Structure 1
Amino acid sequence: MNHGGNIYQFARRLGCLPEQVLDFSANINPKQAVDLNCLQGVQLTPYADPDYGLLKQALDRRYPIPAGVDIELFNGASAAIFALLRGLQPKDLVLYTPLYGEYAHIAGELGCAVHNINRFNHLLADVPERSTVVFVNPSTPDGRLYDLQELLAAWQAADCTIIIDESFLDFCSADSVAERIAHYDKLYVIKSLSKFYGCAGIRIGFILAATAAIKELHRFEPAWKLSSLDMAYMQQALANNAFIEQTLEQTAYLRDLLYQSLQGSGLFDKIYPGQANFLLARMANGGDGYRLQAQLEPSRILIRVCDNFEGLDKSHVRFAVKDELTISQLAHSFKNVKK
């Protein structure tokens, strides 16, 4: 599924290398927790541990797992989403939109009845009883961080299966809802590691759920989903505790810098207040995000037009938080955009 623009296709069209593209389309931390040199001592001859013991220990230190809760690892958060919905086989799936397309895609494959709720306008709308609800927090593509207490109570009262996608929560000073799993065993929490730790090529995501629910999910999973290299890298990254605070401070500073650049361009009539590592903006006077993209191409800048998010159109564009120099280059390029 499309998480950002296709940087390789974009680079081929411009006749440059992918690393020469200023990629604002993909929400990946511009910093990395560890250097690839940490993989030099990894042994590739034996099979990797099929129980992922050392990686699970590292995850438990980073995200303390409550009593009665267990974890299942996947080859990225997208794989976790697909496996979970295939396992649950929901009849009614409630999607709080806008959100990215994985959920609607797999729902179509499974033949679910999909109920979209626009969280901008109808956040507290009723949901079908015993439905499966999906909520991304902080949300994408706007990055809003929600207090879910009222919604969780309403979903539980309706006996819903609840999926909370916290792929971007690490960028916020906020608590996970995983603690509530001990009190409601139909709650599942999805986490991604690649975004916060700046390693999109290391495909590791996981699900937290009640122990019995994880056992049921695990029955359908193959052994050795993760490579020894993936696990070794992520164990080192998770151990870098200083990186967590550095990233929170850096993201807040750079997000504010990006906000100022967007606001100062005069191209947008709304910039959504986000708490994650990206910002959503709406072009002024019904402007066309694809036209903006075309005008930014000479500067090798790739952005994310959000017309494939339910409830948004091509006037909505998303910008990932990048480093100071890259944001400065974006601000400079805005000056050449014809309004």
Structure 2
Amino acid sequence: MTKSEFPQNLLPNNISALAAYSSAKSQKLTGTTWLNANESPYTKTFELSLSDLNRYPDPQPNNVINAYAKYAGLNTEQVLMTRGADEGIELLVRTYCENSKDSIALFLPTYGMYKVTADTHNIAINALTQKLLLEGTAEQITSAIGDSKLVFICNPNNPTGSLTELDKISAIAIALADKAIVVVDEAYIEFCPEKSAASLLQDFNNIVVLRTLSKAFALAGLRTGFMLANTELLKPVRKVIAPYPVSRVVAQIAEQALQSDAITQMRRQVTILNRAKAALVQWLKSCSAVNTVLNGEGNFVTVQFKQKEDIDNAMQSGLIMRPFTLYEQDNWLRISIGNEQELEQVKLWLEMLGTEQ
């Protein structure tokens, strides 16, 4: 008896046509230097107690919620712990968007999971541009947003690193009051904390801030994030979230990562990474093989090379960075800020390219 083919008619049309998000780790690459996933180069050690894994965990661990609320300068009722910021994106779409009816607004190029999540739930995409977001007036932006239910602003933006000023976010939120929710994704905000939109929550009921421990906190493997918003906005999300989203082990590690001494250490590491990033930007700008270096925030630099072959050769040599097609050109590269030894490999590569030109 031969196995029959999977009946494709069981798939909804939107899932059948779905283009899955291609993460840095989904590609089966081999290399020696890994600067492709915007991970922190720092490792952490934690103490764990595994004696009570036979019991279900607290759905929202109080100690973690209290610690993050203190860190973010908010009340505990304004904090929801999620499985990475990605779960926050999905929860907002599932909670506030109606299948086959609503749309979300994006400013491209930006983080790919907004689109994938919307496509998964059969929510339309209102594809706007980063140029409009950065250079347009609040009136022009909100006019283009139209009747989209959610507006995603990645700030700093991945992969360009650009920043949208808080005054503009405020103006957009005011114009969209009772019409839409402005979602500010702050995965990289620790690298420019003074630009956080969390301070706007005291004045706005239609702003959500997404955070993560994956970047500056050096806990990408933990898959821990937070949704920050006012109580009424979070109430329906709390009904939609899975009953036990946070494991005891994750809660223990997150709690330790949010202690005052750990936060001080994180900020010290951010200072070091920002300094290393500034050096990398100078190396790139002085390399004759480079066409454009984007100025921005975050623990990465996005750069356009004159020849795509230079990027391909680096990848083949084991120097793994993140190639991108941006602005319909396939010679872009995003370089994560690694440790001194990793960035030295980038420097040597750039020096080699410079001598070949």
TM above 0.5: yes
| CA–CA separation in structure 2 for the residues paired with 1:50 and 1:71 | 13
Q: Report what 1:314 is aligned to.
A: 330
| CA–CA separation in structure 2 for the residues paired with 1:191 and 1:197 | 11
- Aligned: 1:329 with 2:345: yes
Kindly report which structure 2 residues correspond to 1:99-114, keeping only aligned pairs within 5 A, or say none. 99-114=110-125
Note the residue ranges of structure 2 that are not aligned, 5 or more in a row: 1-20
Note the residue ranges of structure 1 that are not aligned, 5 or more in a row: 12-19
Q: Report what 1:171 is aligned to.
A: 191
Structure 1 residue 85: deviation in Å?
A: 0.9
Structure 1 residue 140: deviation in Å?
A: 1.0
| CA–CA separation in structure 2 for the residues paired with 1:150 and 1:299 | 43
Kindly report which structure 2 residues correspond to 1:183-194, keeping only aligned pairs within 5 A, or say none. 183-194=203-214
Max radius of gyration: which structure? 2
Q: Kindly tell me: are residues 149 and 42 of structure 1, through their superposed partners in 2, closer, same or farther at Cα, counting changes over 3 Å?
A: farther
Secondary structure (helix, strand or coil) at the match of 1:39 reads: coil
Q: Report what 1:134 is aligned to.
A: 152
Q: Kindly tell me: are residues 173 and 72 of structure 1, through their superposed partners in 2, closer, same or farther at Cα, counting changes over 3 Å?
A: closer
| CA–CA separation in structure 2 for the residues paired with 1:138 and 1:154 | 17
- Aligned: 1:196 with 2:206: no
| CA–CA separation in structure 1 for the residues paired with 2:59 and 2:289 | 51
User: Can you list the C-alpha shifts for 1:202-232, whole angstroms capped at 9, x where unaligned?
Assistant: 0111111121221111111222211111111
Which amino acid is 1:21 matched to? Answer: T
Q: How many percent identity over aligned positions?
A: 21
From 255, 264, 271, the counterpart of 1:242: 264
Q: Report what 2:93 is aligned to.
A: 85
| CA–CA separation in structure 2 for the residues paired with 1:199 and 1:245 | 14
- Aligned: 1:53 with 2:62: yes
Q: Report what 1:16 is aligned to.
A: none
| CA–CA separation in structure 2 for the residues paired with 1:276 and 1:74 | 22
- Aligned: 1:207 with 2:227: yes
* Contact 1:75/1:205 (8 A) holds in 2: yes
Secondary structure (helix, strand or coil) at the match of 2:78 reads: strand
Structure 1 residue 44: deviation in Å?
A: 2.9
TM-score, length-scaled by structure 2: 0.82
Structure 1 residue 39: deviation in Å?
A: 2.2
User: Can you list the C-alpha shifts for 1:51-101, whole angstroms capped at 9, x where unaligned?
Assistant: 31111111112112158x522221111111111111110623210121011
How much is the aligned-residue C-alpha RMSD, in angstroms? 2.3
Q: Report what 2:284 is aligned to.
A: 262
Q: Report what 1:15 is aligned to.
A: none
* Contact 1:202/1:230 (8 A) holds in 2: yes
Q: Report what 2:162 is aligned to.
A: 144
Secondary structure (helix, strand or coil) at the match of 1:214 reads: helix
Q: Report what 2:12 is aligned to.
A: none
Secondary structure (helix, strand or coil) at the match of 1:242 reads: helix
- Aligned: 1:253 with 2:275: yes
| CA–CA separation in structure 1 for the residues paired with 2:230 and 2:132 | 32
Structure 1 residue 298: deviation in Å?
A: 4.8
From 222, 230, 250, the counterpart of 2:250: 230
Which amino acid is 2:29 matched to? Answer: F
Secondary structure (helix, strand or coil) at the match of 2:120 reads: helix
| CA–CA separation in structure 1 for the residues paired with 2:230 and 2:338 | 37
Q: Kindly tell me: are residues 175 and 150 of structure 1, through their superposed partners in 2, closer, same or farther at Cα, counting changes over 3 Å?
A: closer
| CA–CA separation in structure 1 for the residues paired with 2:212 and 2:88 | 9
* Contact 1:171/1:247 (8 A) holds in 2: no
Q: Kindly tell me: are residues 89 and 279 of structure 1, through their superposed partners in 2, closer, same or farther at Cα, counting changes over 3 Å?
A: same
